[in-house]
Structure 1
Amino acid sequence: MAEINWEDPYCGEGNNCFRIGTDIEGNAYIAVAGREDHPLTDSRDALRALILEIKAGRADHLL
C-alpha cells in the first residue's frame, strides 16, 4: 500500500472520528480513526463532496 499522509481526525458529537489522507499520486483515502490500516479510497473530489454534505448536516452517518 502507498504511504498515506493522514490529516488530523475529524470527530462529530457522539460519532466515530474519521481521517482523510492522500498519497503522493493524489489518491484520497478515508478511514475511521485508529483503523487507518483499512481505508476506503476514491477520488479526492468524491470524498470532498461527501465530507461537505456531512458537515452541512445533509447526511446522518459517514461509516
Structure 2
Amino acid sequence: MPEITWEEPYCAESSNCFRIGTDADGNAYIAVAGQEDTYLTDTRDALRNLIQDIKAGKADHLL
C-alpha cells in the first residue's frame, strides 16, 4: 500500500464525507472518510481536472 498523505475530510450538506490524498510519486487519491483503505487513484492533474469539472457543474447530471 502506498504511503498516502490525506487532507482533512470534506463534507457537503447531507452527504458523505470524502478525503483527498497524495503520495510522493505524484499520484492523487480520493476515498470516503473512514474508508481510506478503499480508494480511487489517478494523477494529480486528473484529480484536479475532475474537481474543476465538478465545481463547474459538469457532473450535476450524475447526482
Q: Which TM-score band applies after superposition, normalised by the shorter structure?
A: 0.7 to 0.9
Could you tell me the TM-score, scaled by structure 1's length? 0.82
Which one has a larger percent helix, Structure 1 or Structure 2? 2
- Which residue pairs with 1:8 in the alignment? 8
Rg (Cα) greater in structure: 2
The residue type paired with residue 26 of structure 1 is G
CA distance in 2, matches of 1:46, 1:4: 17
Q: Which runs of 5 or more structure 2 residues have no equivalent in the other structure?
A: none
In structure 1, the gaps of 5 or more residues are: none
Q: 2:41 maps to what in 1?
A: 41
Change (3 A) 1:21 1:11: same
User: How far apart in 2 are the matches of 1:12 and 1:49?
Assistant: 19
Counterpart-to-counterpart distance in 2, 1:17 and 1:52:
18
Shift of 1:16: 0.9
Q: How far apart in 1 are the matches of 2:58 and 2:13?
A: 15
Deviation at 1:4, TM superposition (A): 0.3
CA drift of 1:17 comes to 0.8
Paired residues, number: 62
Q: Deviations over 1:16-43 (max 9, x none)?
A: 1111101111111100111000110011
Q: Percent identity, aligned pairs only?
A: 73
Q: What TM-score do the two structures reach when normalised by structure 2?
A: 0.82
